[in-house]
Amino acid sequence: MTVLEICTYPEKVLLQQSEPIADINEEIVKLADHMAETMYSAPGIGLAANQVGVAKQLLVVDIAPRRPESDLIVLANPEIIAVEGEVTIEEGCLSVPDCQAEVKRHEKVKVRGLDLKGKEVEIEAEGLLAVVLQHEIDHLNGILFIEHLSRLKRDLYKRKLRKKKARQQG
């Protein structure tokens, strides 16, 4: 397996709409494997392809990565087809280091996508799984979780990031 480099804000690939996957081929299956390995080693509970520099609509999720049996979900071309309720939960992101914040999301979602055999699947999720699916699908649409924050909180994070980069360069 290969652990891929995780792109961090403000890299452009994170801010663009990902391309739909026309064909689930060996390259896509291999990318999904590498993404899962990268997510587990980060450690994280979700990863979208654009977070590893590939602008394709592919995500991996496992909300219980420390359990011996894997609950890995891999979806190509995922879309949210139904939502219900609202929940506020603290989120973080592998591509937005040093930032955690409360974000409002739907409490329940129904997501449709393709598995790695090209078969259409639907997942009904609630709680943490619903939140993670929404977070990763946002990534595929070029939306980072910080876009769900108030302008003030978003600007504070961006200022903190600029100062950190200035210190590293100076």
> Rounded to an integer, what distance in angstroms lies between the CA atom of residue 73 and that of residue 95?
20
Environment class of 63 (CB within 10 Å of its CB; exposed 0-12, middle 13-18, buried 19+): middle
User: Can you tell me whether residue 157 is helix, strand or coil?
Assistant: helix
Contact assessment for residue 139 and residue 17, using Cβ atoms and an 8 Å cutoff? no
Cα–Cα dist 164/161, whole Å: 5
> Catalytic amino acids?
136
